[in-house]
């Protein structure tokens, strides 16, 4: 088709001597793409390998695979097929069937390309068209996606090319009909249980009635948004390099980022959430706004996020990380490392100065000493004037990371914290010249 060939040339999608991995399902779109690429195969001196993926979802999937194989043999095109257990993969990775299938398809496309043509020596051609683009734009818009989601189906994205983005579904069907080309109808395409099908069957036709050419107009809008997205990506990368810090714990969005424009800051936050979660699905504006608000909040504030993530505001900025709950065994191990004994004072010995051995005046202790983690009512005495400070305020002032505070062992006298292990003791229990009996506490493992 002349229109597609011109589109390919205008966007530099395919060049002479290219190696093409072409995704084929047997449906109208991929069959159209196969025939058009085959038409230009000799002109462009192309090597083509068609790849079919059986997702093990429908009983008729074997029929689709057989049809695709027979078609490729008829055209003299190399054919490779794979069978995957998509429902099992979706369950294991907590993904929708659609997302799991898409991930596996592209993985297998790339794997086949590397085996056939070497690393970086191929392009992946897929059959998305204008209606797909319009449906995706509407679907993502309804879910609160940003510009990236509204322009996610790009003409060219890395090694992936989409030569049919210049065509509507109607034009594809007309091409197949005019040329007497058969294809397989996927019966699930008529099932309105799928959100995209409801958009396809109900919303798109209504829009075309209201505004003729709506699909093409949305295609142009998505293209413009794609250009804006490319520019914003450059600015986001600059901000990321300046204000984002990755570590084993997670990603720190530094406090200084809040001085930048909110649009770019929120994009950087979105990127951080995706990297920590390991997925992009369902990370929407409400999650991004929650982290953005923390950058404006005081130290100590936190928010629970999707996919077991949390964002914690500390002195340096906002740390985004996966929650790590200590098991009962781990808690017991930490506390068991803190031991104490009562001794008579030996005045020939100097008071220890290391972080993990402390002396206390035993006669100043009012209750039975206890080893535990922090509680809301905890406090300690901070100077010789008997001034008290809540343990929470002390930890904030000392810039102890919020995630660490619940796992620091304490030696306590009721609500009065005698020792914050690794940090300081309370002034109320300091050893003086009059001290005769000691409580000697030791923490045996630095954590």
Cα angle 177-183-185, degrees, rounded to a multiple of 5: 110
Q: How confident is the model at residue 98 (pLDDT cuts 50, 70, 90)?
A: confident
From the list 229, 311, 304, 228, the residue with the least C-alpha distance to 269 is 311
Q: Residue 189: its pLDDT value, please?
A: 62
- Residue 133 is part of a domain; what is its CATH number? 3.40.50.620
Better-predicted residue by pLDDT, 276 or 97: 276
Q: Residue 62: its pLDDT value, please?
A: 85
Number of residues in the chain:
447
Q: Residue 85: its pLDDT value, please?
A: 92
What's the pLDDT tens digit per position in 105-132?
A: 999 999 999 999 999 999 999 999 999 9
Average pLDDT over residues 253-271: 95
Same structural domain, 184 and 258 = no
What's the pLDDT tens digit per position in 419-428?
A: 999 999 999 9
Same structural domain, 97 and 48 = yes
pLDDT > 70? residue 192: no
Q: Residue 149: its pLDDT value, please?
A: 80
DSSP conformational letter for 251: E
From the list 204, 190, 264, 201, the residue with the least C-alpha distance to 228 is 264
Out of 281, 305, 322, pick the residue that ends a domain.
322
Same structural domain, 332 and 318 = no
From the list 2, 3, 1, 7, the residue with the least C-alpha distance to 161 is 7
When computed from its CA atoms, the radius of gyration of the chain, rounded to whole angstroms, is 32
Q: Copy the structure tokens of residue 411.
A: 């030696």
In a domain, 380, yes or no: yes
Average pLDDT, the chain: 91
In a domain, 237, yes or no: no
Q: How confident is the model at residue 194 (pLDDT cuts 50, 70, 90)?
A: low
Q: CA 232, CA 224: separation in Å to the nearest integer?
A: 13
Helix, strand, or coil here: 234?
A: helix
Same structural domain, 147 and 71 = yes
Contact between 260 and 320 (Cβ < 8 Å):
no
Angle between helices 262-277 and 285-295 (to 10 degrees): 110
DSSP conformational letter for 201: I
Same structural domain, 218 and 125 = yes
Q: CA 291, CA 295: separation in Å to the nearest integer?
A: 7
Q: CA 421, CA 374: separation in Å to the nearest integer?
A: 11
From the list 110, 109, 92, 89, the residue with the least C-alpha distance to 100 is 89
Provide the pairing of β-strand 244-246 with 160-161. Answer: unpaired
In a domain, 229, yes or no: no
Same structural domain, 187 and 126 = yes
Average pLDDT over residues 298-319: 90
In a domain, 238, yes or no: no
Of 38-47, 194-203, 246-255, 376-385, the one with minimum mean pLDDT is 194-203
In a domain, 241, yes or no: no
Which residues, 6+ apart, have CB-to-CB distance to 166 below 8 Å?
3, 4, 7, 130
Q: Residue 228: its pLDDT value, please?
A: 92
Same structural domain, 134 and 149 = yes
Same structural domain, 310 and 407 = no
How many domains does the chain contain in total? Answer: 3
Q: Which percentage of the chain shows pLDDT scores above 90?
A: 67
The pTM score is 0.66
Out of 301, 322, 343, pick the residue that ends a domain.
322
In a domain, 240, yes or no: no
Provide the pairing of β-strand 338-344 with 437-443. Answer: antiparallel
Same structural domain, 159 and 180 = yes
Same structural domain, 85 and 55 = yes
Report how far apart, in Å, the C-alpha atoms of 161 and of each of 77, 109, 122, 157, 439 are. 19, 12, 11, 7, 73
- Residue 334 is part of a domain; what is its CATH number? 3.50.40.10
From the list 49, 50, 51, 40, the residue with the least C-alpha distance to 15 is 40
In a domain, 233, yes or no: no
Q: Residue 188: its pLDDT value, please?
A: 61
Q: Residue 447: its pLDDT value, please?
A: 44
- Residue 292 is part of a domain; what is its CATH number? 3.30.465
Same structural domain, 59 and 162 = yes
Q: Copy the structure tokens of residue 307.
A: 């996919």
Same structural domain, 414 and 434 = yes
pLDDT > 60? residue 242: yes
Out of 322, 352, 385, pick the residue that ends a domain.
322
In a domain, 236, yes or no: no
Q: Which domain holds residue 307?
A: 247-322
């Amino acid at each position: 088709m002349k229109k597609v060939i011109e589109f390919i040339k205008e966007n530099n999608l395919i060049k002479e001597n290219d190696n093409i991995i072409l995704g084929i399902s047997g449906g109208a779109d991929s069959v159209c793409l196969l025939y058009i690429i085959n038409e230009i195969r000799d002109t462009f001196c192309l090597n083509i390998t068609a790849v079919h993926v059986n997702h093990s979802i429908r009983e008729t999937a074997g029929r689709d695979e057989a049809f695709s194989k027979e078609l490729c043999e008829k055209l003299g095109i190399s054919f490779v097929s794979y069978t995957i257990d998509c429902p099992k993969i979706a369950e294991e990775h907590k993904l929708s069937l659609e997302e799991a299938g898409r991930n596996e398809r592209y993985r297998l496309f790339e794997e086949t390309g590397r085996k056939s043509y070497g690393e970086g020596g191929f392009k992946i051609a897929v059959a998305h068209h204008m209606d797909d683009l319009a449906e995706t734009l509407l679907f993502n818009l309804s879910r609160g996606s940003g510009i990236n989601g509204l322009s996610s189906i790009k003409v060219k994205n890395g090694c992936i090319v989409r030569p049919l983005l210049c065509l509507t579904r109607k034009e594809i069907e007309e091409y197949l009909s005019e040329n007497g080309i058969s294809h397989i109808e996927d019966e699930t395409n008529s099932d309105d249980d799928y959100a995209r099908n409801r958009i396809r069957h109900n919303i798109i036709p209504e829009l075309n009635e209201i505004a003729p050419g709506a699909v093409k107009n949305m295609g142009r809008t998505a293209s413009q948004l794609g250009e804006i997205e490319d520019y914003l990506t450059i600015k986001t990368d600059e901000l990321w390099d300046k204000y984002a810090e990755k570590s084993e714990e997670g990603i720190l969005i530094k406090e200084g980022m809040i001085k930048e424009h909110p649009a770019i800051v929120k994009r950087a936050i979105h990127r951080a959430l995706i990297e920590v979660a390991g997925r992009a699905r369902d990370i929407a504006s409400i999650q991004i706004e929650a982290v953005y608000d923390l950058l404006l909040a005081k130290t100590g504030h936190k928010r629970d996020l999707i996919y077991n993530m949390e964002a914690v505001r500390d002195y340096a900025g906002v740390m985004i990380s996966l929650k790590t709950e200590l098991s009962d065994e781990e808690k017991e191990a930490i506390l068991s490392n803190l031991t104490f004994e009562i001794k008579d004072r030996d005045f020939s010995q100097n008071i220890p100065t290391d972080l993990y051995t402390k002396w206390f005046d035993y006669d100043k202790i009012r209750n039975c000493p206890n080893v535990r983690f922090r509680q809301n009512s905890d406090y300690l005495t901070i100077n010789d004037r008997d001034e008290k400070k809540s343990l929470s305020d002390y930890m904030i002032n000392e810039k102890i990371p919020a995630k660490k505070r619940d796992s620091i062992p304490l030696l306590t006298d009721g609500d009065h914290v005698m020792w914050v292990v690794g940090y300081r003791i309370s002034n109320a229990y300091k050893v003086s010249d009059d001290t005769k009996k000691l409580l000697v506490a030791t923490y045996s493992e630095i954590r």
